């Protein structure tokens, strides 16, 4: 669970910004969205395969750019 301690003299806006950053770093929103919709096993597998292909393309592109 993400939480921030508001320091003495700190504005509420800056504490809220820190909280939002912490929530994003812990991927809480991503996890909630993932569990909010039921995916059939086949859909889940296709999504997983698509993500793997995307990661592989990204990795190969980085390696090609690194060679030059």
- Residue 37 CA to residue 56 CA, distance in Å, equals 26
Residue where the block lists tokens 């060679």: 67
Single pTM value for the model: 0.51
Where exactly are the structural domains of the chain? 1-37, 38-68
Burial class (CB in 10 A: 0-12, 13-18, 19+), 8: exposed
Between 58 and 67, the more confident residue is 58
- Give residue-wise pLDDT tens across range 8-65: 999 999 999 999 999 999 998 888 988 899 999 999 999 999 999 999 999 999 988 8
């Amino acid at each position: 669970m993400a939480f921030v301690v508001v320091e003495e003299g700190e504005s509420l806006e800056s504490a809220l910004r820190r909280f939002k950053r912490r929530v994003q770093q812990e991927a809480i929103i991503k996890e909630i969205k993932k569990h909010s919709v039921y995916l059939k096993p086949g859909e889940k597998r296709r999504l997983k395969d698509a993500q793997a292909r995307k990661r592989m393309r990204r990795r190969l592109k980085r390696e090609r750019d690194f060679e030059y």
